[in-house]
Amino acid sequence: MEILAFGVQADERPLIERAFAGQHAVRCLDVFLSEDTAPIAAGYEIVSSSVNADLSGRVLRILAAGGTKMIAQRSTGFNNIDLPVARELGLTVSRVSYYSPYSVAEFAWTLALAVNRRIVRASNRTRDFDFRLNGLMGRDMRGRTVGVLGTGKIGEAFTRIAHGFGMDLLGWDVVQNPACVELGMKYVDKETLFSSSDLISLHVPLLESTHHVIGPEALKMMKDDAILVNSSRGGLVDTDALVTELRSGRFAGVGLDVYEAEAGLFFLDRSLVAVEDDTLARLITFPNVVVTSHQAYYTHDAVGQIIDTTVTNVADYLAGRRSENTLSPQE
């Protein structure tokens, strides 16, 4: 059987081909799955999609009409998939429920330290042989308070690093993580976390209840010199509200690996065309903001685990098995 994989990055392609070798042929495309590209999948029973794929009801119907019966998404999040329509169409849909939490946690800390110590600005200066220190002063992390919104596997890994820095630990989640409590984390309500933290890092999934969890009210609660990091999902942050606060001179730094309107932008080269997203264009101009292109998960270890799990999900589908990764059909 030949599997069609959409949204395959150049670094990812040899890993996918190697993982499926001897089992199935795989055709890798660098284009992302969308309403425009879905017709390419006609005749393919199994399609693999990437994190920014459009799997709305319209796209799912195109895939089903073309003979697709199984969609293997290469990501943990699945807010981009219209699962009720998938179940209506009888499509099997799987995801990757687990991969290295250290990849994202370490990158979140990379962003936090980069904005705190003005690494991007310093690097740009030294490329021009400007070695002044003006405007590069940061702060020690030791003794300061970190607020971790979401203390699952990634949040726990982030917390362990914060503990190593000697920080005071605040957390919020619907369920407390005993490992974080053992590290000394105090669970508080979101309002206390926002108002008391010097550094806030987001590690919750994007759900209806968490959409714009960092909105105008939450931003107003934060310290003027706080650092905000989001390496989870762009929709957690109301970007327009964030820009408003940044324009007033607030926040020591903001590190964003995700953006709520990233579809059609991230993972693509848009350097030679006009950027029509005024909010993103304004966001990038702030000297205390670092924006990266949804790369927190992008380590050899994590991508390897994602692909291995995708191979297993395909094998489970062909054998008629369900697993914790199966989103559709429901039991």
Confirm whether 294 is a catalytic residue: yes
Catalytic residue, candidates 233, 250, 321, 322: 233
Cα 314 versus chain centre, distance: 23
Alpha-carbon distance of 218 to 244, in angstroms, equals 13
Confirm whether 118 is a catalytic residue: no
Token pair recorded at residue 257: 């690996």
Alpha-carbon distance of 11 to 193, in angstroms, equals 38
Instruction: Compute φ and ψ for 72, nearest 5 degrees.
Output: -110, 100
Confirm whether 95 is a catalytic residue: no
Alpha-carbon distances, residue 306 vs 48, 72, 250, 252 (angstroms):
12, 11, 38, 34
DSSP assignment string, 50-73: -TT--B-HHHHHHHHHTT--EEEE
Q: Please, what is the Cα angle at 68 between 62 and 71, to 5 degrees?
A: 100
Picking from 256, 285, 251, the residue whose alpha carbon sits closest to that of residue 139 is 251
The partner residues of 227 in beta bridges, in order of sequence, read 199, 253
Alpha-carbon distance of 168 to 87, in angstroms, equals 45
Catalytic residues: 233, 262, 294
